[in-house]
């Protein structure tokens, strides 16, 4: 059986006096694409921020590659191969596309490898190549999402966390984003995908978890959850 890359046990996260995540357990194995779905406010993004060291834990533990990473900062985790594309993209608006991509490789020293990986990103996203000297802040939301994904890939992640990659994008750009997620996964990158577009997320997933009000309420194979009447009624409008 494949190695467990990420194991979340009894995770609790609080904002002030409000407990946003109330004791969550899930895992991601090497080579999997796992989707975490749920409505807005379910605690999905809070969970992702806790995993990546952007929020403190109120309880529980997070293990990556068999070791607890509780208390480690995002910069430590990137060095260990754990990268996130945050909700809202978070590109450096006053830097060019190429400069943004280079920021993704800040932990690396292999110049030839970095250049080869930038070329690979430009192959995946031809639009970025066309605009490589353009300031990121002048790009559309869809183009910024491409850039944020490309920047994360420059760190050569073992585990890529994607937080709401299709949010606010046009239908054409949503198709492109999911096509890229599929391609990155096919190249052997393990992915944890948080997404409100439940049908698209589960269609891609090996396994999925449903999160409601800070708790995991269902789990199963992606196709199994996609066919579940409760999931279809709650998230697919059927």
Closest C-alpha among 8, 1, 5 to residue 211: 8
Q: Report the candidate in 206, 204, 146 with the shortest Cα–Cα distance to residue 176.
A: 146
Rounded Cα distance between 213 and 96, Å, is 39
State the pLDDT at residue 110.
Answer: 94
Q: What token pair was written down for 73?
A: 């900062």
- Measured in residues, the chain has a length of 238
Domain that holds residue 49: 4-235
User: How far apart are alpha carbons 89 and 95 in whole angstroms?
Assistant: 14
User: What 3-state class would DSSP assign to 11?
Assistant: strand
Q: Is the pLDDT of residue 189 over 80?
A: yes
Residue 32's pLDDT is 97
Report the run of H or E that residue 118 belongs to, with start and end.
helix 111-124
Domain with 42 in it: what CATH number? 3.40.50.300
Name the band, by pLDDT with cuts 50, 70 and 90, for residue 238: low
Residue 226 has pLDDT above 80, yes or no: yes
Residues ≥6 apart with Cβ < 8 Å to 70: 57, 61, 62
State the average pLDDT over residues 58-74.
95
Instruction: State which H helix or E strand residue 234 sits in.
Output: helix 229-235
Mean of the per-residue pLDDT values of the chain: 93
Helix, strand and coil percent figures for the chain, each rounded to 5: 40, 30, 35
Angle between helices 141-153 and 97-104 (to 10 degrees): 30
Residues 79-137 have pLDDT tens digits of 999 999 988 778 999 999 999 999 999 888 999 999 999 999 999 899 999 999 999 99
| Domain count for the chain | 1
* Residue, of 2 and 155, whose pLDDT is higher: 155
Dihedrals phi, psi of 19, to nearest 5 degrees = -85, 110
d(CA 135, CA 142): 15
Give the C-alpha separation, 173 to 163, whole Å: 16
pTM: 0.93
């Amino acid at each position: 059986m494949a190695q467990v890359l990420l194991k979340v046990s009894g995770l609790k996260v609080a904002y002030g006096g409000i407990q946003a995540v109330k004791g969550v357990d899930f895992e991601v194995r090497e080579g999997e694409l796992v989707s975490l779905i749920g409505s807005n406010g379910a605690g999905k993004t809070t969970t992702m921020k806790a995993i990546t060291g952007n929020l403190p834990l109120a309880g529980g533990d997070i293990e990556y590659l068999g070791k607890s990473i509780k208390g480690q900062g995002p910069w430590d985790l990137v060095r260990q191969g754990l990268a996130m594309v945050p909700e809202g993209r978070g590109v450096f608006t006053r830097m060019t596309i190429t400069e943004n991509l280079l920021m993704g490789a800040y932990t690396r020293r292999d110049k030839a490898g970095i250049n080869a990986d930038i070329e690979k990103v430009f192959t995946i996203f031809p639009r970025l190549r066309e605009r490589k000297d353009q300031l990121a802040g002048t790009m559309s939301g869809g183009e910024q999402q491409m850039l944020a994904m490309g920047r994360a890939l420059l760190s050569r992640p073992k585990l890529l966390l994607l937080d709401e990659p299709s949010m606010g994008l046009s239908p054409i750009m949503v198709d492109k984003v999911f096509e890229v997620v599929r391609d990155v996964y096919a190249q052997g990158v393990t992915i944890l995908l948080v997404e409100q577009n439940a049908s698209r997320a589960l269609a891609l997933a090996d396994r999925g978890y449903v999160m409601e009000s800070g708790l995991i309420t269902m789990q199963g194979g992606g196709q199994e959850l996609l066919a579940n009447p409760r999931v279809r009624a709650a998230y697919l409008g059927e």
